[in-house]
Amino acid sequence: MRPIEKIRSVTIRGKRYNFELKKLKDARGMTDHPETKNKTVYIDSRERGKELLATLIDEFIHCAVWEIQNDIVDQISDDMADALWRCGLRFQDEIEAEKE
């Protein structure tokens, strides 16, 4: 089991979100409005590597600052994922899989 599969909730700016991995049709991730009851962050379960990192950053930015336009959030999350990836950030389960 991937460590990310164990996560059930995240707290961003004092608001608790359910956290769910599932296959999504038309998006890599989605986030409910911060004022929604039982709000949830959804991440496509097929995401891996740098794309997963960018998707997590993207959805967490939406949680933190809902008002930012989506195209701006997309650019910020992709740039942050690229920078973090260049710094060597990797998912532990993917590092372990590469060793096998």
pLDDT tens digits, 20-74:
999 999 999 999 999 999 999 999 999 999 999 999 999 999 999 999 999 999 9
Structure tokens at 44: 């496509």
Tell me the angle at which helices 70-86 and 49-64 cross, rounded to the nearest 10 degrees. 130
Mean per-residue pLDDT, 72-94: 95
Which residue has tokens 């769910």?
20
Query: By C-alpha distance, which of 58, 48, 40 is closest to 92?
Result: 48
86 within 8 A of 97, measured Cβ to Cβ: no
pLDDT at 51: 97
- pTM (predicted TM-score): 0.94
